[in-house]
Amino acid sequence: MKVHNYFKHYLIVEESLSDNTIDAYIRDVEQYISYLGEKKLKVDDNTSILNYIKYLVKCGYTIESILRKLSSISTYYDFLIKEKKIDKNPVLAIDKPKKWFKLPEFLNEEEVDKILRCIDKNTPIGVRDYIMILLLYTSGLRISELVNIELTNCDFKRGIIRVKGKGGKERYVPIHKKILDLLDNYLEVRHNYFVKGSDSGYLFLNRYGKKLSRVYCWGIVKKYAELAGIKKNVSPHVFRHTFATHLLKNGADLRVIQMLLGHSSILTTEIYTQLDDDSLRNSLISYHPRFER
């Protein structure tokens, strides 16, 4: 069942969401509306959303997927309230157990090194892939931000890249000098191998001179993670989580990490304070006077 075009307009104008996020929200809401129609449930009934959660669990959806769908549906209810179709948002009445929230998957330093060592830097494709994965790890970029970087967004002299994040919000990402040196080498390879005819202007190109797709980049990351023998479910976003986690573990201020990641709220960044048990245990042993070595 299709949602009304007014909802899509609301997501664009009121929520300032990206195209990919809007598509995901609409799919989630259409699935929910179809469920309500099949079960003959009312959209403004608290029990409707509870029954839907039970249905999703029965269908085998992960907790993360269910939470994402609830976020989409909650936005839809906010839209209906503004349209004066309903009086309250039933999603807000749902108490989400703490166990629903967990620290995102991330890699340790050895695993990152293994992945980078698997890349053959003697080929143009390898040179490109190496700098892409290194940028994901050292800058915390989202994959959508990475593939949309244009040469005009890059100030290599100052060592910064301007990226457009969620909701069209721009931020400046600093690049370490060592990465800049590698980028210089890649730019030469890019010009000689990847550019075909007129230059599209994007920093990262496929072998046909076109902008890389998000799906293709996912495949690149998956390929090298498998070659490295990493058993974790590695995706481009895992490198973003790894970036934030490693910064925090090594003493970076949480608000600095918030700015680097482009989070609107510090509450979003605080998930990285939930360090793994080994880190907490090592800190206890290292710094508590009772366990002084």
Q: Is 58 exposed, middle or buried (0-12, 13-18, 19+ CB in 10 A)?
A: exposed
240 is catalytic: yes
Reported as a single tens digit per residue, the pLDDT across 75-128 is: 999 899 888 888 888 888 776 555 455 556 789 999 999 999 999 999 999 999
Catalytic residue among 142, 190, 241, 246: 142
Task: Give the percent of the chain with pLDDT over 90.
Answer: 46
Catalytic residue among 8, 114, 237, 249: 237
Catalytic residue among 69, 128, 240, 241: 240
What mean pLDDT comes out for the span 213-226? 94
Q: Is 143 exposed, middle or buried (0-12, 13-18, 19+ CB in 10 A)?
A: buried
Catalytic residue among 76, 77, 224, 272: 272
- Asked, for residue 292, whether it belongs to a domain, the answer is no
CA–CA separation, 85 vs 101, rounded Å?
A: 32
For residues 56 and 146, state if they share a domain. no
The predicted model scores a pTM of: 0.64
End-to-end CA distance of the chain: 65
For residues 166 and 133, state if they share a domain. yes
Residue span of the structural domain in which 120 resides: 109-280
191 is catalytic: no
For tokens 């690149």, the residue is 220
For residues 258 and 138, state if they share a domain. yes
| Confidence category of residue 50, pLDDT binned at 50, 70, 90 | confident
Reported as a single tens digit per residue, the pLDDT across 258-269 is: 899 988 877 677
Residue 11 has pLDDT above 60, yes or no: yes
How high is the pLDDT of residue 252? 86
255 is catalytic: no
Under a CB-based contact definition with an 8 Å cutoff, are residues 268 and 244 in contact?
no
What stretches of 148-237 adopt beta strand conformation (E)? 154-155, 160-164, 170-174
* H-assigned helices in 250-276: 254-261, 266-269
237 is catalytic: yes
For residues 64 and 161, state if they share a domain. no
Which of 96-100, 117-121, 142-146, 240-244 comes out lowest in average pLDDT? 96-100
Tokens of 166: 């969620």
- Tell me the average pLDDT of the chain: 85
| Confidence category of residue 2, pLDDT binned at 50, 70, 90 | low
For residues 114 and 237, state if they share a domain. yes
272 is catalytic: yes
- Asked, for residue 55, whether it belongs to a domain, the answer is yes
Residue at which a domain ends, from 100, 126, 144: 100
193 is catalytic: no
Catalytic residue among 68, 114, 166, 223: 166
